[in-house]
Structure 1
Amino acid sequence: MTYIQLAYLHLATVVPAFFLGTYILFIRKGTPKHKMLGKLYVSFMLATAFITLFMPAVVGPTILNHFGFIHLLSVLVFVTVPLAILAIRKGDVGAHKRHMLGMYVGALLIAGSLAMMLKDG
């Protein structure tokens, strides 16, 4: 798959994740709607993180001529999703909230901002 194809696939998962994540921030928590949208949101986030592993870093130092610092945000998603799920299953709403908010800020807002700043680069 070419870089352009991967970029479009990435956009097809990250844009819905951004809007879903933003919406979820403002709706009532713990409802069936919240749980269903949350599952969809983490599915988009995991797909996005997976896709980005195949996209080479285009700025900064790389490892194996492919991975860069931006890929750490993919790792953040792979670590945060299971932690958030485990937290809510244990009834630790606070930890669940921190994990989900951290993922939203780190993997969507920060990564998105960096990508926009560097796109013309």
Structure 2
Amino acid sequence: MTLEPLLDAPIAIQIHVAAVIPAALLGTYLLVRPKGTPRHRLLGKIWLALMVITALSSFFIHQINMFYGFSPIHLISTYVLFGCWGAIVNARKHNIEVHKRIVRGLYFGGIVGAGAFTLIPGRIMDKVAFDGDEITPLLVAAGIGFALLWLMSKEIWRRRRLS
């Protein structure tokens, strides 16, 4: 592991990583700890702010230039911005089930899913985490993908049983 590629990266990428890493850690904490406590509310607000910074900073990253400097990953950033708004609105309305669903989607789609794409060989985080090793990030990304599919299928089957 080396931080050199990240330190040499444009400032937008550095800001993006500086927001997403604590968001990933804090998000994990929030998902496993008790909900509705004053601590949960405070840390949830911090987490949402980190997610908004992560999403906004991504609009200044144009490493994959497919359409006027943007790529499909920017659709996830748009999803994150609308999702953050939806999480706040539903928490304030005490619509906790919708709030939970949105926050889980933001975490697993916006952090875990999008994070898996950063490990594609040749990208900056691949170089940071694996020093440019070709096969390891593909195995990690495949593992994350399978875990996401498994979690989503569990959620879908749980919803079917409830209806």
Q: TM-score, normalised by structure 2?
A: 0.68
Which one of 72, 85, 88 corresponds to residue 82 of structure 1? 85
For structure 1, the residue ranges without an aligned partner over 5 or more in a row are none
| 2:36 alignment partner, one of 14, 30, 34 | 30
Q: For 1:59-112, what per-residue CA distance to the aligned partner results, in whole angstroms no more than 9, with x for missing partners? A: xx6221x01000011101111011111111111110000000000011100100
Corresponding residue for residue 20 of structure 1: 26
Q: Does 1:63 align with 2:67?
A: yes
Matched, 1:52 2:55: no
2:116 is the alignment partner of 1:110: no
Deviations 1:24-63 (A, max 9, x none): 00110000000000000000000010100011142xx622
Distance 2:79 2:63 in 1: 16
- Kept in 2: contact 1:20–1:41 (CA 8 A): yes
CA contact (8 A) 1:21 1:104 kept: yes
The structure having more radius of gyration, on CA atoms, is 2
Mapped contact 1:83–1:99 kept (Cα < 8 A): yes
Letter in 1 for 2:59: L
Counterpart position of 1:7: 13
Instruction: State the superposition RMSD in angstroms.
Output: 1.6
The CA distance in 1 between the partners of 2:63 and 2:74, in whole Å, is 8
